Chains A and B, each alone.
Chain A
Amino acid sequence: MSNTVTAAGTMEKRKKRLTQFKKCIPLYFMALPGIAYLFINNYMPLPGLVLAFKKFNARKGIFGSDWAGLSNFKYLFATQDAWIITRNTILYNIAFIVLNTVSAIAVAVILAELTSKVKKFYQSAILLPFLVSAVIISYLVFAFLSTENGFINNSILKPLGIEGISWYTEKKYWPFILVLVNTWKTIGYNCIIYLSTIVGFDKGYYESASIDGASKWQQIKKITIPLLKPTIIMLVLMYIGRIFYSDFGLFYQVPQNSGALYSVTNTIDTYVYRGLLELGDITMSSAAGLYQSVVGFILVLSANLVVRKLDKENALF
């Protein structure tokens, strides 16, 4: 008796699910172009990752090429390059994280406190560089640094009687230039999230603090920063998850692909690009690419795990 009931129940359920499915057919059709694109753009390339374990032969194709085991990785890590690109990628990212976070919070705090309407203008001005393409940024930097015509050599150093600097061949300046350009580009973007968080804080805290005679500085230190802490931690963790990736435009375009600067401008992304399209060294390039994908994946997962421990709401999954 009970068996027939459950059987009828499952039948009913199956029928229901079928009608549900039928009802959803138009929805599946709507999802189709998007899923097809993800398939083409994101999933179809994945089998190509085996290239990192192969001796690539253009005539035999990716899957026909002979296996090379781990020898591509052995070669990669035997070179100085592997160390340099990993170091550059990580160190630049650390510098960006620290500087971007500190400057973004400082600007957000100031903007939140300013009462005048001009603050809207300030915000627009500092956000604008974010919309400038990497190619045009390289033009802007070139206008300042060009050896023959550059603003710095001609209008600053020359009047001071200092010999012009050949910026695009002198390594020692580039870590600073790249960090500066990155801050210039992203400060407006980075401060927006902090600003919107600060604007959402309860005004009551500040009112009672100023009644108690707390100075502006004390209010910032004792109220704003502690309240911002969760946001700061989240954003920094998210950033750490991406520490193995770099802004290709910044590291490739801004130094104008200058060979003399590679040891301080080469990151994993630029290395993979050059290997594939300039040097034709596909095996090395794909080994470095897989290295980035796998370590990057582990870092994203771990960063998210930590975020989830701290605050489930903000976790990606």
Chain B
Amino acid sequence: MKTREDKIFQFTGHIIMIILSACALIPLVLLVISSFTDNNTLIRNGYSFLPEKISFYAYEYIFTSGNSVIRAYGISILLTALGTCFSLVITTMLAYTISKRYLPGKGMLTFLVFFTMLFNGGLVPTYMNYTHTFGLKNTFWGLLIPGLLMNGFNVLLMKSYFVTGVPDEILEAAYIDGASEFKSFYKVALPLAKPVVATIGLFSGIAYWNDWQNGYIYLTKRTDLYSIQNLLNRMIQNIQFLTQNATNITNANVGLASIPSVSVRMAMAVVGILPVIIIYPLVQNNFVKGITLGGVKG
């Protein structure tokens, strides 16, 4: 049935996609290989796909010398877990409320959510608000709260899912059985909205794991609260940072000379991206669904 033309199309299509896939993955491959390359080889030959000498020293160094990497990792995990949970709780509850047709003041509440998508004060007033009014500077809250906890877009996405995906009759039945508003929300509506909850949770989790701006802006002194992204950011600017934060400060000067600086940077980046790579195959379908869902509405 297949014509010659079809075959040519399929063939060129595969070629183009193989090239694009390779382009997408090659930088990450270079990163991983560099992290396993001997530091002196790296300095002599530069980053290369076929290193002369392989070494695991960079990883050994990360996990033995000082606790700053492991600590930052812990902060990132805590931040992502807490952030995603809080974000899901407040997003779903607000979305559920404004999905109720009979709610007095529904229009006003929806507008409050919607307006945040059209206009925002920008960095300066936000920074002033969080530092001067709330004193979030140099606290863990500075990582968790600004900007990331909830956004209007996710609320409206979820609201439209509640409106279309959770039939009134089912909730009606729950009320007749004597369920309270809250109970019917989390026993009936929420399970029905599982796909969109999973998607928003995923987006939120990735946003928290990848965020570096909050730490960069709000953590000026408390470098012990750095997430892995902030540590990485600091590292690329300044390799000495790792020694300064090492547990054995007395050996800092000795340590600096022996730090496999170039390969350590790359190993840390690998460690930083690892969780994303691990969960990616598991969540990919949800992710794609989420993008499509969002694309329809905006």
Contact = CB atoms under 8 A, between A and B. Distances in A.
Interface stretch (A83-91, A112-120, A169-177): A112-120
B168 to A, nearest CB: 15
Given A45-B125, A144-B27, A289-B124, A196 B48 contact: no
Interface in B11-45: 13-14, 16-18, 20-21, 23-25, 27-28, 30-31, 34, 42-43, 45
Contact of B182 (A26, A35, A133, A140): A26
B21 A126 contact: yes
Contacts of B28: 128, 132, 140
Interface stretch (A94-102, A221-229, A271-279): A271-279
Interface in A6-65: 17, 20-21, 24, 26-28, 30-31, 33-35, 37-38, 40-49, 51, 61-62
B43 to A, nearest CB: 7
B125 A48 contact: yes
A31 B209 contact: no
A125 interface: yes
A105 interface: no
A130 B210 CA distance: 11
B161 interface: no
Contact of B97 (A27, A123, A273): A27
A264 interface: no
Interface residues of A, number: 100
Given A41-B145, A124-B284, A139-B269, A34 B155 contact: yes
Contact of A139 (B49, B133, B265): B265
Contact of B31 (A126, A131, A139, A300): A139
Q: Is the interface of A mostly helix, strand, loop or mixed?
A: helix
Contacts of A216: 5-6, 9
A62 B42 CA distance: 51
B181 A133 contact: no
A42 B120 contact: yes
B179 to A, nearest CB: 11
A250 interface: no
Given A114-B13, A154-B47, A45 B126 contact: yes
Contact of A140 (B13, B27, B210, B296): B27
A188 interface: yes
Interface string A259-289: 0000000000100110011000010011001
Interface stretch (B58-66, B77-85, B86-94, B241-249): B86-94
Nearest to B291: A192
A155 B26 CA distance: 15
A196 to B, nearest CB: 5
A141 B266 CA distance: 12
A140 B30 contact: yes
Given A110-B17, A139-B31, A154-B45, A27 B89 contact: no
A21 B24 CA distance: 54
Contact of B127 (A47, A125, A276): A276
Interface string A125-147: 11111011111101111111010
Contact of A30 (B34, B42, B97, B102): B97
A73 to B, nearest CB: 14
B47 A151 contact: yes
Question: Which 8 pairs from chain A and chain B are nearest by CB?
Answer: A154-B46, A48-B125, A34-B94, A133-B210, A193-B295, A45-B125, A125-B21, A289-B122
Interface of B: 5-6, 9-10, 13-14, 16-18, 20-21, 23-25, 27-28, 30-31, 34, 42-43, 45-49, 89-91, 93-98, 100, 102-104, 109, 112-114, 116-129, 132-134, 145-147, 149-150, 152, 155, 180-182, 185, 206, 209-213, 217, 229, 232-233, 236-237, 262, 265-266, 269, 272-273, 276-277, 280-281, 284, 287-288, 291-292, 295-298
Interface of A: 17, 20-21, 24, 26-28, 30-31, 33-35, 37-38, 40-49, 51, 61-62, 107, 110-111, 113-116, 118-119, 121-129, 131-136, 138-144, 146, 148-151, 153-155, 184, 187-189, 192-193, 196, 215-216, 235, 238, 248-249, 253, 256, 269, 272-273, 276-277, 282, 285-286, 289-290, 292-293, 296-297, 300-301, 314, 316-317
